[in-house]
Amino acid sequence: MTICPEVSADTVAEVRDVGGLPFSGLVARVPEPRAVIVALHGGATTSAYYHSQVHPRASLLTAGAALGFTVIALDRPGYGASHDHASRLVSPRSRVEAAFRAIDAFLDGASRGAGVFLMAHSMGCVLATRMAASQRGAELLGLEIAGTGRVPHPDTPFMATLVDPDVPPGHAGRPRRSALREALWKPDYLFPDGADTSMPIAPGPSVEGAEVKTWPAELPAMAAQVLIPVHITLGQYERAWDSGPEALADLASLFTASPRVVAAEQADAAHNLSLGWTALSYHLKVLSFAEECAIARERILAESPLPPEADR
């Protein structure tokens, strides 16, 4: 394990070996956690998305630890330390399995409290939903997805091209920087000065371009296999994906097997919910939902009859 204490007094950068592959992330640990929050960043960035150096109150790791949660912001497969090994993580199944094994490695010997709650932003929602729909998905306490959708926002034409299945990956052309900024970082007053330039631009795995196209069609089938509670958030000013009450209701309707689905619009927030002035408000809502999931899991365990061998 490699530790870089300079990240902050309470948060460290760690690298763990996962079946011969290095996985990195930012970690804020507490001795006896209520539960563990594992956060998956979006495209072209890193785990730093959840630990703003511009607006300290925006840090998910700081807020979570202060409320008794261990928080792991994981660099997704193909990002961070695993970027140079992305060729070994091509299939969706390999990335799901690697992510679960990475969580196990980061938590090796440490308490999980009531369990692991998974949250994700933007392209991180692809991996998170696949994990929740997988065989190990039922182990998770709950799922939060934010900044994702099925239909591109009508005011953002380049998004429609990116998800058009008739346009081969890499042939859609890169959107102008001004158009990208308009979709992800506007209005300006929603963010502290320097929030955008403080985020590292990180190369991601090549398969991600194709997944942008397949995700809207894949989401309904994946969502229908999720058996845990789900929380969905879109910013009031989301401009990458269609937003508003109808879009939220549409997303919520896909999780037909989930015991509880909550859809919420975050006021005064754009696509990058964890970097704006209302990031703390957003994170507190997610942490509150995670707490409710922990209580529900504890109640289920308390009500479950012990197996016969437990009495011996």
Strand partners, 79: none
Q: In 3-state terms, the chain is what percent helix, strand and coil (to 5)? A: 40, 15, 40
Span 11-46, pLDDT tens digits: 999 999 999 999 999 999 999 999 999 999 999 999
Percent of the chain whose pLDDT exceeds 70? 92
What is the arithmetic mean of pLDDT over 302-307? 76
| 9: confidence class by pLDDT, cuts 50, 70, 90 | very low
The residue among 187, 183, 125, 126 whose CA lies nearest residue 159 is 183
CA angle 128, 12, 27 (to 5 degrees): 25
| 123: confidence class by pLDDT, cuts 50, 70, 90 | very high
Q: How far apart are the first and last CA of the chain?
A: 40
The number of beta carbons lying within 10 Å of the beta carbon of residue 92 is: 17
Cα separation, 118 vs 81, whole angstroms: 21
Two structure tokens written together for 181: 């900024």
Write the CB contacts of 258 (distance below 8 Å, at least 6 apart in sequence): 226, 227, 228, 229, 230
Please give the C-alpha separations between residue 148 and each of 27, 35, 73, in angstroms, as whole numbers: 25, 25, 18
| 5: confidence class by pLDDT, cuts 50, 70, 90 | very low
Q: Residue count of the chain, please give it.
A: 312
Q: Which of 63-67, 141-145, 170-174, 181-185 has the lowest mean pLDDT?
A: 170-174
Residue 8 has pLDDT above 50, yes or no: no
Question: Which helix (H) or strand (E) covers residue 116, if one does?
Answer: strand 116-121
pTM for the predicted model, two decimal places: 0.93
What is the pLDDT at residue 126?
A: 98
CATH architecture of residue range(s) 2-300: 3-Layer(aba) Sandwich (3.40)
- 3-class SS of residue 146: strand
Tally of CA atoms within 13 A in the half-sphere of 221 that contains its CB: 5
Q: Concatenated DSSP letters for 282-297? A: HHHHHHHHHHHHHHHH
- Hey, what's the torsion of the CAs at 197, 84, 173, 236, to 10 degrees? -50
What is the pLDDT at residue 307?
A: 61
Two structure tokens written together for 245: 């009450």
Write the CB contacts of 195 (distance below 8 Å, at least 6 apart in sequence): 52, 54, 55, 185, 272, 275, 276
Span 237-292, pLDDT tens digits: 999 999 999 999 999 999 999 999 999 999 999 999 999 999 999 999 999 999 99
Span 188-219, pLDDT tens digits: 999 999 999 999 889 889 999 889 889 999 99
Residue 312 has pLDDT above 80, yes or no: no
